[in-house]
Structure 1
Amino acid sequence: MTMTRAYRGGELKEEGFPVEQVSDFLADEDTTVWVDLCEPTEADLAALTEEFGLHRLAVEDAVHEHQRPKLDRYDRHAFLTAYSAEFDQENGQVRTSELAAFVMPRALVTVRKDDRFDMAAVVARWDAEKDLAGSGVAYLLHGLLDYVVDGHFEAVQALDDEIERLEDLVFDDRPDQAELQRRSFRLRKSLTALRRVVLPMREVVNALMRRDQPFFDEATAPYFQDVYDHVLRASEWTESLRELVSTIRETQLNLQSNRLNLIMKKVTGWAAVIAVPTAVTGFFGQNVPYPGSGSSLGFWMSTLAIVLLSALLFGIFRRRDWL
């Protein structure tokens, strides 16, 4: 799966042409080329490697998965790695898709590690901002990063909504402790995965904004600054949500401990109340004469003592909120 585009003079001139024609388009110094490859091998990149002089280490990183988000600079190009992120509400997990990009003064080559990265959405963003097409590679790179960072934002927002629902579950009258623990662990795991791809983007975008980059353009500088601001907000939001999940877990344990203390308090109070008739009947069960011994009067006297003493203890415990 290969997609190609050629821009000349700030306008889209041709798309869908074979990779072998890239050099023909680049012969015109006013032309910018974009090439996208999905799940290529090093052999698939061989032609582009020869055409653009791609560094061997960068080609290896573009093919191998699980690279950290980064921006490496080589003699003839820069190498970018980034991840798109999407929150799956069905299983409560964050799904990421890895993307590598070779950034050159007049060409951008993107390499998708799988087809989950929605490149069609990136192309739609380029088409929606045609007024920036004259900036060449900077225009293409901004649209790509803008899509990636917006995806991070949407994932963080979805996780924030899940955490709010978790908070409501924590303060439920009869919370399901097992479900609380499962959801807390799942959210913490998702936030950790999202944090792993969001935080390094601060360094990536900041490095791209350096004015000594060969593709840097003054017209797109404010747009890159806007992307950088979104990256900062997403990273700070992710950090705060991780702390919030930990706080919710601590709150859950405290509430559980408080409920246990309340139950123990009530059980102890009722045990004291029940101990009264036991003490009274045990006392009058001695083999010694007592008032009313051997008559119905004695029975009613002991019954009255049980009721009065139990009611007295119940009133005292109730006033002190022990029952």
Structure 2
Amino acid sequence: MMHSRIYLPSGELLSDVDLESLKGYVQDSRCVIWLDLDSPTTEEVDLVGLLLGITHLTLEDVTKQGQRAKIESYDRYLYMVMHGMRLEEPDGHLALPELDLILGLNYVLSVHYEPMDNVLQHRQITETTASVMSRGADFLLYALVDGLVDSYFPVLDSMDDLIDELEDIIVGRTEDGVLARIFRVKRDVVSLRKVISPQIEVFSQLTNRTYHQIKEEHIIYFRDVHDHLIRAFEVIDSYRDLMTGALDAYLSTVSNRLNSVMKRLTLIATIFMPITFVTGVFGMNFGYAPQVVWDNGTLFWFSLAGMAIITAVQLLYFRMQGWI
């Protein structure tokens, strides 16, 4: 579905105009146009591409999702690929929807195949939208990418809470499924790093090269987005270190608890070892055993008392050594 917002030189903001009127506004350099394609069909992408004069190579990249974050400069426009970030409910699965952005002299085209809250927020007809579009298409591009990058930090905060929860579980108790959760978070952190890293390169190019579609006085705003991306990247790097430490701590905790169990089992086996020896001696099947022939019934109780004394001495020794 295509949504359109047109800011006229008179200050009026139009929405969702018909295609014939849109052609006239595109040719008027005084107008600022924003076309948002939400889950478009191939025919809609081709139609808008023909209207704006976008090459088939760019349209092919827009249609085929899964692109790496990048920026490409053409004679009439800039093509950017960005990615959003959100945690899906209820399992907390990390989603990284792609957002394709094309900047011309008087228009911005955004294409996405999944709902994106920051795009929807700017698409609403408000004074803020009119104020942003009144400053030009390049400032509208800045507003879209700035909102996109700002949406990263609530997700990162949620991941921070999740990591804290995992650390508490690892230290306090070992539950089934903890290892799977650790590897899932590690995989999400790796995915985030793969998304953020190329976007830093994109905005590094935007702030260090001259593109005729971006006004000189607006470059400073893209530098601000670049700084936010660096901060997000540093947070993600810290999460990677935390998860590596959490995995090591989990494996160490499991190993220590296994050693504790084996220690207890060894102590039990050691306690029964002399008792088993005594009962084994008395239980041997010899035809003549003096302790049996001459016993008047007291030897049995002496044997039990001796085994109890041996066990008590063993327990006292283990306690003195700090083993129990």
Tell me if TM exceeds 0.5.
yes
Shift of the 270–91 alpha-carbon distance from structure 1 to 2, 3 Å rule, reads: same
Equivalent in the alignment of 1:93: 93
Equivalent in the alignment of 1:234: 232
Equivalent in the alignment of 1:30: 30
Equivalent in the alignment of 1:319: 320
In the alignment, the residues of structure 2 paired with residue 223 and residue 126 of structure 1 have an alpha-carbon distance, to the nearest angstrom, of 21
Equivalent in the alignment of 1:257: 255
Give the C-alpha shift of residue 22 in structure 1. Answer: 3.1
Instruction: Encode CA deviations 1:154-203: one digit per residue, 9 max, x unaligned.
Output: 22222221121112222233x223x1123223323333333332222111
Shift of the 131–222 alpha-carbon distance from structure 1 to 2, 3 Å rule, reads: farther
Equivalent in the alignment of 1:299: 300
- TM value normalised by structure 1: 0.87
Equivalent in the alignment of 2:40: 40
Gaps of 5+ in 2: none
Shift of the 98–16 alpha-carbon distance from structure 1 to 2, 3 Å rule, reads: same
Contact 2:5 2:123 in 1 (8 A): no
- TM value normalised by structure 2: 0.87
Contact 1:93 1:187 in 2 (8 A): no
Counterparts of 1:54-133 in structure 2, within 5 Å, are 54-114=54-114, 116-118=115-117, 119-123=119-123, 127-128=127-128, 131-133=131-133
Equivalent in the alignment of 1:18: 18
In the alignment, the residues of structure 1 paired with residue 8 and residue 151 of structure 2 have an alpha-carbon distance, to the nearest angstrom, of 29
Give the C-alpha shift of residue 219 in structure 1. Answer: 4.2
Give the C-alpha shift of residue 131 in structure 1. Answer: 4.8
Moved more, 270-279 or 25-34: 25-34
Counterparts of 1:185-200 in structure 2, within 5 Å, are 185-200=183-198
Pairwise CA RMSD of aligned residues? 2.8
Give the C-alpha shift of residue 300 in structure 1. Answer: 3.8
Gaps of 5+ in 1: none
Equivalent in the alignment of 1:171: 171
Contact 2:123 2:129 in 1 (8 A): no
Contact 1:138 1:216 in 2 (8 A): yes
Give the C-alpha shift of residue 85 in structure 1. Answer: 1.5
Contact 2:186 2:240 in 1 (8 A): yes
Give the C-alpha shift of residue 134 in structure 1. Answer: 4.0
Contact 1:4 1:36 in 2 (8 A): yes
Equivalent in the alignment of 1:201: 199
Contact 1:19 1:35 in 2 (8 A): no
In the alignment of these two chains, the number of paired residues is: 320
Equivalent in the alignment of 1:245: 243
SS at match of 2:44: coil
Moved more, 70-79 or 40-49: 40-49
Counterpart amino acid of 1:188?
A: K
SS at match of 1:200: helix
